[in-house]
Amino acid sequence: MSGKLDQLKEILGEVSDVYHAASVLEWDQQVNMPPGGSDARGQQLGTLGKIAHEKSTSDEVGKLLQDLKHEFTDAESDDAALVRVSARNYDKATRVPSQFVSKQAIVTTKALEAWVEAKGKSDFSIFRPHLEKVVELVQEYISFFPPADHPYDILLDDYEPGMKTSEVKEIFNNLRPNQVELIKSIKSAKQVKDDFLHKKYNEKKVWDFSEAVISKFGYDFNRGRQDKAPHPFQTTFSVNDTRITNRFESENPLSTLFSAMHEAGHAMYEQGSNPIYERTPLAGGTSLAVHESQSRMWENLVGRSLPFWEYFFPELKKTFPSQLDGVSAKSFYKAINKVEPSMIRVNADESTYNLHVMLRLELEIGMVEGKFAIKDLPEIWNAKMQDYLGIVPPNDAQGVLQDVHWSSGLMGYFSTYALGNLVSAQLWEKINADITDLDDQIRKGKFDSLLGWLREKVHIFGHKYDPQDLIEKVTGSKIDSAAYVRYLTKKYSDIYGL
């Protein structure tokens, strides 16, 4: 092995360690930290971010990458992929001053605490000055890079390498009319009954049931755990320490179950990354859309399927006999797939979910362009909810404050949620072609073949391949909406008798 490659790996390993240490602090901030610790935590995260940034953008790393570019020419080799991905990361990181990284960590840490308070009080004015600073920093970040076709391209590329805003808009423009047409058809059909989903359910029993389900999926609790946080998320400290968080909503108690499936999908992707990639930029998922394809697949294509509930419903009914008295597995399946415009994105049904994402993409682009003033965001949000879904949030908590992402400076992120839905359906068609008795396996509570397929075809590669290349390698096509439209049409035609 090249001595220079060893040197590069040693430095990148130290950078990875620092970033993962910061991730532990960020996890703790949402799970354990008292509110009074936010200022100190922001300084700590700022310091770690600055150290990692300076180390990863050093002249030594640049020289090693320059020398190694010509040493590894086999595009399929892990070493060539490591050099390619590291060079790309280096080019982006060297454009961003370390002082900016530190400043952004401090601002977003305070913004997160303000968001938690603002959401709790349903008062956007508490969050507004912090979001204004976040957006200013986002615009400053964009200024570090050469002009792109659209300024939003620079943000999107951080989460979906190589993808352009124009491509996302085209995909969404092809998808939107199909989803709108389906929703119109469903509106004219008889609505399904779901009142039993909103009865009082014991929180601990729901939590324990969720852990039993994801353990059955293959989420390894020896290398993971589930804790409570204001907003469900997944985080990775190593391939052997991949954690998820969840929450309980008394008005929508079973959402805990589906959030667990969702976050476990992310975590199983990380747990399946090739161990030899540990402490390198090849570790973990290749992009947010591919990552989201895993979470949405386990949550929806598996967890909201009839075969799944033909296996799990008897146990759920035994756990909650009074709530589910007289309810059949088929009725429960229809209820959890009820199509109805809703305020909260993470609880939205599959037919309307992507519209929530399209709304956020429009708002983010408007903020980046300076077209929308932050003070006007609640009003703009409500107007667009009316346009997209025909409903208006009754308060800020159920409207503009519902998502945590902007408080962390995560702009450019939201479109990957919808793209992940499309990828999940593309993969699902390929999986069912390869595992012809998949429904029967799920009906028996067996998920080994499904997880094994995902491990072999997707997870093991980590970040070795760029997302579009990986999707094409596995399915024969780049990201496309056709499979998802087929999936939705078939599923909801059955549920609503279309």
Report pLDDT digits (tens) over 428-446: 999 999 999 999 999 999 9
Residue 63: CA atoms inside 13 Å, Cβ hemisphere, count? 5
Return d(Cα 485, Cα 59) in angstroms, integer. 49
Any idea what DSSP says for residue 404? Answer: S
Residue-wise pLDDT tens digits, 46-103 = 899 999 999 999 999 999 999 998 888 787 899 999 999 999 999 999 999 989 988 9
Percent of the chain surpassing pLDDT 70: 100
Quote the crossing angle between the two packed helices 415-434 and 467-475, to the nearest 10°.
20
Res. 458: pLDDT tops 70: yes
Instruction: Report the candidate in 202, 283, 235, 224 with the shortest Cα–Cα distance to residue 25.
Output: 235
Strand partners, 246: 228
What six digits make up the tokens of 477? 């096509």
Distance CA 99, CA 55 (A): 13
Listed in sequence order, the residues at least 6 apart from 111 whose beta carbon sits closer than 8 Å to its beta carbon are 127, 130, 131, 133, 134, 406, 407, 408, 409
Please tell me the distance from the alpha carbon of residue 271 to that of residue 223, in angstroms, as a whole number: 8
Distance (Å, rounded) from C-alpha 188 to C-alpha 68?
62
Q: How many CA atoms lie within 13 A of 368 on its CB side?
A: 23
**Rounded Cα distance, 156 and 141, in Å:** 13
Please report the pLDDT score of residue 428 as a whole number.
98
Joined together, the tokens standing for residue 277 give 């990639």
Whether the Cβ atoms of residue 290 and residue 422 lie closer than 8 Å to each other: no
Tokens describing residue 84: 């390619």
Residue 452 CB-half CA count within 13 A: 7
pLDDT at 413: 87
Q: How confident is the prediction for the chain on average, in pLDDT?
A: 94
What span, in angstroms and rounded, lies between the C-alpha atoms of 362 and 298?
28
Enter the tokens of residue 187: 């509106």
- 170 and 480 Cβ atoms separated by less than 8 Å: no
For 97, the enclosing helix (H) or strand (E) is none
Cβ-in-10-Å burial (0-12, 13-18, 19+) of 29 comes to buried
Mean pLDDT (whole number) for 411-427: 93
pLDDT at 487 over 90: yes
Percent of the chain predicted with pLDDT > 90: 88
**What is the C-alpha to C-alpha distance for residues 457 and 106, in angstroms, rounded to an integer?**
39
User: Which two tokens mark 91?
Assistant: 């080019």
What residue type is assigned to position 260 of the chain?
A
In this predicted structure, the answer to whether residue 1 has a pLDDT above a threshold of 60 is no
pLDDT digits (tens, 9 = 90+) for 145-186: 999 999 999 999 999 998 999 999 999 999 989 988 898 899
Question: Could you give the 3-state DSSP secondary structure of residue 235?
Answer: strand
Average pLDDT over residues 9-15: 97
Find the DSSP H helices in 219-349: 255-271, 288-296, 306-319, 329-336
The reply to whether CATH 3.20.20.80 applies to domain 165-496 is: no
Q: How many CA atoms lie within 13 A of 422 on its CB side?
A: 25
The per-residue pLDDT for 75 is: 78
Selection from 106, 112, 121 nearest residue 46 by Cα: 106
pLDDT of 189: 92
- Is residue 232 scored above 60 in pLDDT? yes
Q: Residue 450 has what pLDDT?
A: 98
Q: Which two tokens stand for residue 35?
A: 């509110």
pTM: 0.89
Which residues have a catalytic role annotated? 263
Residue 239 confidence class, pLDDT cut points 50, 70, 90: very high
Q: Are 461 and 470 in contact (CB under 8 A)?
A: yes
DSSP state of 197: G
**Residue 22 reports pLDDT greater than 80:** yes
Q: Where in the chain is the domain with CATH 1.10.1370.30?
A: 165-496
Q: Are 387 and 253 in contact (CB under 8 A)?
A: no
Whether residue 2 has pLDDT greater than 80:
no
Q: What is the pLDDT of residues 99-135, one digit of tens each?
A: 998 899 899 989 999 999 999 999 999 999 999 999 9
